[in-house]
């Protein structure tokens, strides 16, 4: 183990070696733990990213917030620009930065710094598809930067855009947040399909084959990958257009993939029986409780969806 702390200058040099260039628009996902001990912590990483992309560049991270059942959401603080994000150290450090912009979407909030930060964030509102920023970044030639291995950080982000463009639907609990809309406290219900985390990495060999991977290398101690957002999005779109069930992770006890997608063929009673036969009591209880919870199939017809940029 290298005991020397990683410096900002070292990070800038790693980012350049990986292929980050001046003017880049980066969708950054980072596992600080895999990065190693950085002098100055996440704040130094942000400065390194900003230096690597320069004054014409933009960095964007997830800074999503939790959703709740309506009666719980009512007791929580209103969702706003200052809401705490569950997306980890980098996300919350971004939010402290004096130049940060945060998207106006009530739940899937992104944090951005740089040339396009204001434009991206102001246009991402309660009227937008939850991940529309990533589509716009892809069209502008953005890059996904993943600092951390594929196991630590599954996926590159654009998969959410592809399933939105293709209107793939799954069943999810009825959850949301309260926020201020036109001076009134309003419930925002989550309105997009979710993806089983184990499905994301199935796309990796296809990114490779289609040349979407710009480079793999190290940033600090972390295995890292830089990909073309337009590339990964097009790869995901083409695969899912042909076969949405590509998203099936294959785990016979994955509730999402067995029961919740429109392509899922399982039934709740069948799943419960199978779980009991295999001694998976918690799984059986979880699915049994689904009978009593309010679920919605998303996106519904009122949901905002991204335009299908690849439709022929």
Residue 257 interacts with Zn ion (CB under 5 A): yes or no: yes
Taking the C-alpha atoms of residue 6 and residue 28, their distance in angstroms, rounded to an integer, is 19
| Candidate ranges 59-67, 97-105, 206-214, 257-265; the one touching Zn ion (CB under 5 A) | 257-265
* Contacts with 136 (C-beta within 8 Å, 6 or more apart), sequence order: 120, 123
| Closest separation in Å from C-beta 197 to Zn ion | 8
| Candidate ranges 45-53, 98-106, 130-138, 191-199; the one touching Zn ion (CB under 5 A) | 191-199
Residue 254 interacts with Zn ion (CB under 5 A): yes or no: yes
| Closest separation in Å from C-beta 35 to Zn ion | 28
| Closest separation in Å from C-beta 253 to Zn ion | 9
Q: Which value, in Å, is the radius of gyration of the alpha carbons in the chain?
A: 20
**Closer by beta carbon to Zn ion, 137 or else 257:** 257
Give the per-residue contact string, 94-123, with Zn ion (x = CB under 5 A; - = no).
------------------------------
Taking the C-alpha atoms of residue 216 and residue 146, their distance in angstroms, rounded to an integer, is 9
**Closer by beta carbon to Zn ion, 141 or else 252:** 252
Q: Please report the sign of the dihedral spanned by the C-alpha atoms of residue 53, residue 85, residue 31, residue 98.
A: positive
With contact defined as beta carbons under 8 Å apart, do 224 and 147 qualify? Answer: yes
* Contacts with 238 (C-beta within 8 Å, 6 or more apart), sequence order: 310
| Closest separation in Å from C-beta 85 to Zn ion | 24
Burial 19-49 (b: 16+ CB within 10 A, else e): bbeeebbbbbbbbbebbbebeeebebbbebb
Candidates 26, 196, 204, 305; binder of Zn ion (CB under 5 A) is 196
| Closest separation in Å from C-beta 260 to Zn ion | 9
The closest alpha carbon to 209, from 193, 232, 188, 191, belongs to 232
Residue 193 interacts with Zn ion (CB under 5 A): yes or no: no
| Closest separation in Å from C-beta 245 to Zn ion | 11
**Closer by beta carbon to Zn ion, 24 or else 248:** 248
Residue 49 interacts with Zn ion (CB under 5 A): yes or no: no
**Closer by beta carbon to Zn ion, 45 or else 254:** 254
Backbone φ and ψ for 202, nearest 5 degrees, come out as -65, -20
**Residues touching Zn ion, count (CB under 5 A):** 6
| Closest separation in Å from C-beta 160 to Zn ion | 15
Half-sphere CA count of 143, side-chain side, radius 13 A: 26
The closest alpha carbon to 145, from 235, 261, 27, belongs to 27
Is 249 strand, coil or helix?
Answer: coil
**Closer by beta carbon to Zn ion, 76 or else 249:** 249
Candidates 12, 76, 249, 296; binder of Zn ion (CB under 5 A) is 249
With contact defined as beta carbons under 8 Å apart, do 213 and 227 qualify? Answer: yes
| Closest separation in Å from C-beta 169 to Zn ion | 16
| Candidate ranges 24-32, 116-124, 192-200, 260-268; the one touching Zn ion (CB under 5 A) | 192-200
Residue 163 interacts with Zn ion (CB under 5 A): yes or no: no
Q: How many CB atoms lie within 10 A of CB 201?
A: 15
Residues that bind Zn ion (CB under 5 A): 196, 198, 249, 254, 256-257
């Amino acid at each position: 183990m290298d005991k020397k702390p990683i410096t900002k200058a070292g990070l800038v040099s790693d980012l350049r070696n990986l292929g980050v260039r001046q003017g880049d628009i980066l969708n950054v996902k980072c596992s600080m733990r895999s990065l190693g001990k950085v002098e100055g912590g996440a704040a130094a990483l942000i400065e390194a990213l900003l230096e690597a992309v320069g004054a014409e560049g933009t960095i964007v991270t997830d800074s999503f917030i939790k959703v709740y059942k309506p009666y719980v959401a009512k007791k929580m603080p209103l969702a706003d620009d200052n809401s705490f994000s569950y997306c980890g150290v980098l996300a919350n450090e971004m939010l402290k930065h004096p130049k940060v912009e945060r998207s106006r979407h009530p739940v899937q909030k992104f944090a951005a710094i740089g040339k396009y930060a204001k434009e991206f964030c102001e246009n991402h509102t309660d009227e937008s598809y939850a991940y529309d920023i990533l589509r716009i970044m892809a069209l502008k030639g953005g890059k996904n930067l993943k600092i951390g291995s594929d196991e630590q950080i599954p996926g590159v982000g654009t998969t959410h855009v592809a399933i939105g463009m293709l209107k793939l639907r799954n069943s999810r609990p009825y959850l949301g947040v309260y926020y201020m809309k036109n001076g009134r406290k309003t419930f925002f219900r989550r309105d997009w399909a979710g993806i089983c985390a184990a499905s994301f990495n199935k796309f990796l060999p296809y990114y490779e084959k289609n040349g979407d991977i710009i480079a793999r290398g190290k940033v600090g101690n972390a295995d890292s990958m830089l990909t073309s957002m337009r590339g990964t999005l097009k790869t995901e779109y083409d695969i899912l257009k042909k076969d949405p069930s590509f998203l099936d992770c294959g785990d016979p006890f994955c509730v999402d993939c067995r029961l919740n997608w429109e392509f899922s063929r399982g039934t709740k009673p069948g799943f419960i029986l199978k779980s009991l036969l295999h001694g998976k009591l918690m799984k059986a209880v979880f699915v049994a409780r689904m009978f009593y919870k309010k679920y919605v199939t998303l996106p519904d017809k009122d949901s905002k969806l991204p335009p299908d940029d690849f439709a022929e």
